[in-house]
Amino acid sequence: MEANLEIKKETTINITRRSGSGGGVLKILLFIFISAIVILPMLITVFASFKSLPQIGSESALKPPTSLNFENYKEVLKSANVFIAFKNSTILVVASVVINSILSTMVAYCLTRFDFKLKKAYFAIFLVGLIIPGIVTEISRFGLMTNIGVYDTLLAPILIYAGADLMQIYIYNQFLQQIPVSVDESAMMDGASYFTIYWRIIFPMVIPATATLGILKAVDVLNDMYIPFLYMPGAEHRTLSTLLFNCISDPRTSSIPRLSAAAVIVMIPTLLIYFIFQKYIFSGIAAGAVKE
Amino acid sequence: MFKNTDLKMQKNLVLVTFLFIPTILISLFMIYPLIRLVALSFTSWDGLNPTKTFVGLQNFKKIIFDSPEVWVSLKNNGVYFVGHLLFIPIELFLAFLLDQRVRFSKMFKTITFLPYIINTVAVACMFIFLYSSQDGVLNSMLQFFHMDKIGWLSDPKIVNYSLTGVSIWKFSGIHIILFLAAFQSLPTDMIEASIIDGASTFKQFYHIVLPNIKPVVEIVLFLNVRGALQIFDIPYVMTSGGPNHASETFTIQTINTAFQYQNFGLACAMAIVLMIIIIIFSIIQKKLFNLKG
């Protein structure tokens, strides 16, 4: 996997060198234009979060705030329970990522190393999972969640996020296929059991993939609004997304400067993850699509 | 070394312990709800009553023949679908440029993908400000040029286009990254050869590169069908389907039918109709795409 990436990087550099910079200015201008479209809405929001309501009405939105006025942030922190939302989102992310990486690698290990009766069924389920429209099927999942008593607890989203992420199993499957079976065989010669092989060899070998998939999963979970909205209506179970959703209709936080401040707070965790782990995110997406 | 019988035992033990929990979770949270969805679509269940009355195909008949609002909402989904579809060639071209021909590619790649990473509700908040009719950024700009204000989110004729714009802003990045990954998986000499031949950028792109990344284009087209027909967060958070149902999408209606109007049976039938539409649309699109390619 790592080696693969390395090769890809090199080829890109090669092409760049060879093709030179013919007509480069126009292309750069094009990308500057696109970057502006991407960045301006965000910049305007950050600006607005430091302004007062009268300033929003009278000033141009593109005018930077004259001072770093944290009044809106203080007000948001006071009226919305941001810390609980942070805590809940963190619990959901950690639980989903950890459980998911263990369960998915176990399934992928079985699928790539053994022949068994359920194997075909598993591959059929991958296909079904692609077609099922996630949002509307919650209608029939909803009753189940209330019946097993996890409604309005953190367990409800954890079970959904961690339990059946077919896409991740599928991608792990691709990674495990690339590990030659001879690795397993030589470990067996040394007397290792299947359990040992999985835990001491296979699991450590796919850690790069786990990093990638874990980060993608973390971003997904942090940004998901719908499942926490549906299954955890209680105020003490708000996540960052549902907290912000609530801010839109709460008169204490619904004014543009305050809503902007709330949006900035909610954006920060995923943005940090993105800037730190960008490399993994891109390679994960590439792995999901190009190998299919 | 283990004996063969030991190995077989061990294999079965591994299979059972490793697959037990995942299989239960997948069956419980994916397969069972799917079966239940189909079963409930033939009932008039309200979501609470312990008895579920079997009504045959009545729900489906109602959707197809007696629910004009469902078809109006599908038309709204169509706006998202066409909007994104029109952007796919542009995304392809941008990815192609990012792959080889621009300085600062890495930085531009980071920026292009940025919207996809941001929380959808935060994106909605940003655009609520941009589109706001009072102090909104876009209307202030129009005023600056002495043009009339536009009701970006309040005019029923415009609202879907405004929301599609948000959707394109947020999701174009993922398409570009997918296309870029496809370009980078191509062998270098393929592009190199065409450069030596003196093929122009466009010709090189159309005749040499495009045919080779067809599988990824197909994936993106499929993702677009699925995404456009399922769009929910953006309209739900920004307009909750308003003004006066003008921006309701199929999923918003389904969810409201179930949780607001307590008509679970009908909502389940709508979910199944949506699934069938996604399948039919994907097949038609794939056929058309292969015809052209």
Contacts of A48 in chain B (CB under 8 A): 129
User: Could you tell me where the DSSP H helices lie in A80-180?
Assistant: 82-113, 119-131, 134-147, 155-163, 166-178
Q: How confident is the model at residue A9 (pLDDT cuts 50, 70, 90)?
A: very low
- For B247-278, the pLDDT digits (tens) are 999 999 999 999 999 999 999 999 999 999 99
Q: How confident is the model at residue A286 (pLDDT cuts 50, 70, 90)?
A: confident
- pLDDT (average), residues B142-146: 85
Euclidean distance between the first and final Cα of chain A, in Å?
16
Closest CA to B87 of B124, B112, B114, B111: B112
Give residue A17's pLDDT. Answer: 38
Q: Quickly tell me which residue has 């308003």 as its tokens.
A: B242
- Chain B interface test: which of A14, A31, A92 (most B C-beta within 10 Å): A31
The answer as to CATH 1.10.3720.10 being correct for domain A76-290 is: yes
> Mean pLDDT of all residues in chain B?
88
Query: Which tops the pLDDT comparison, A268 or A127?
Result: A268
pLDDT reading at B246 higher than 90:
yes
Report for A20-29, A115-124, B119-128, B178-187: range of highest mean pLDDT: B119-128
Give residue A291's pLDDT. Answer: 52
**Distance between CA atoms of B119 and A175, rounded to whole angstroms?**
29
**Residue B288, Cβ neighbours under 10 Å: how many?**
11
Q: How confident is the model at residue B191 (pLDDT cuts 50, 70, 90)?
A: low
pLDDT reading at B173 higher than 70:
yes
pLDDT reading at A10 higher than 70:
no
pLDDT reading at A1 higher than 60:
no
Which of A15-24, B45-54, B80-89, B131-140 has the least mean pLDDT? A15-24
Query: Nearest chain A Cα to B134, which residue?
Result: A57
Query: Which tops the pLDDT comparison, A122 or B135?
Result: A122
Closest CA to B181 of A38, A288, A173: A288
Contacts of A132 in chain B (CB under 8 A): 30, 34, 275
Contacts of B10 in chain A (CB under 8 A): 193-194
Percent of chain A with pLDDT over 70: 90
- Prediction pTM value: 0.88
**Distance between CA atoms of B124 and A57, rounded to whole angstroms?**
20
- For A239-284, the pLDDT digits (tens) are 999 999 999 988 888 889 999 999 999 999 999 999 998 888 887 7
Is B111 within 8 Å of chain A by CB?
yes
Domain positions in chain A: 21-69, 76-290
**Distance between CA atoms of B225 and B223, rounded to whole angstroms?**
6
Respond yes or no on whether ipTM tops 0.85.
Answer: yes
Cβ proximity of A78 and A71 under 8 Å: no
Cβ proximity of A218 and B119 under 8 Å: no
Give residue A132's pLDDT. Answer: 78
Q: How confident is the model at residue A68 (pLDDT cuts 50, 70, 90)?
A: confident
**Distance between CA atoms of B46 and B53, rounded to whole angstroms?**
10
Cβ proximity of A12 and B101 under 8 Å: no
Which of A60-74, A94-108, B236-250, B253-267 has the least mean pLDDT? A60-74
What are the percentages of helix, strand and coil residues in chain A, rounded to 5?
A: 80, 0, 20
Give residue A240's pLDDT. Answer: 95
pLDDT reading at A20 higher than 70:
no
Query: Which tops the pLDDT comparison, A220 or B101?
Result: A220
Query: Nearest chain A Cα to B40, which residue?
Result: A140
Sign for the pseudo-dihedral over CA of B285, B288, B290, B293: negative
Domains of chain B: 63-292 (1.10.3720.10)
Closest CA to B171 of B74, B84, B282, B86: B84
Q: How confident is the model at residue A27 (pLDDT cuts 50, 70, 90)?
A: confident
Give residue A242's pLDDT. Answer: 95
> Mean pLDDT of all residues in chain A?
85
Query: Nearest chain B Cα to A254, which residue?
Result: B125
Euclidean distance between the first and final Cα of chain B, in Å?
55
Q: Got the DSSP string for A239-252?
A: -HHHHHHHHHH-TT
**Residue B210, Cβ neighbours under 10 Å: how many?**
14
- For A154-210, the pLDDT digits (tens) are 999 999 988 768 888 888 888 898 889 898 989 988 888 999 999 999 999 998 889
Is B169 within 8 Å of chain A by CB?
yes
Give residue B141's pLDDT. Answer: 85
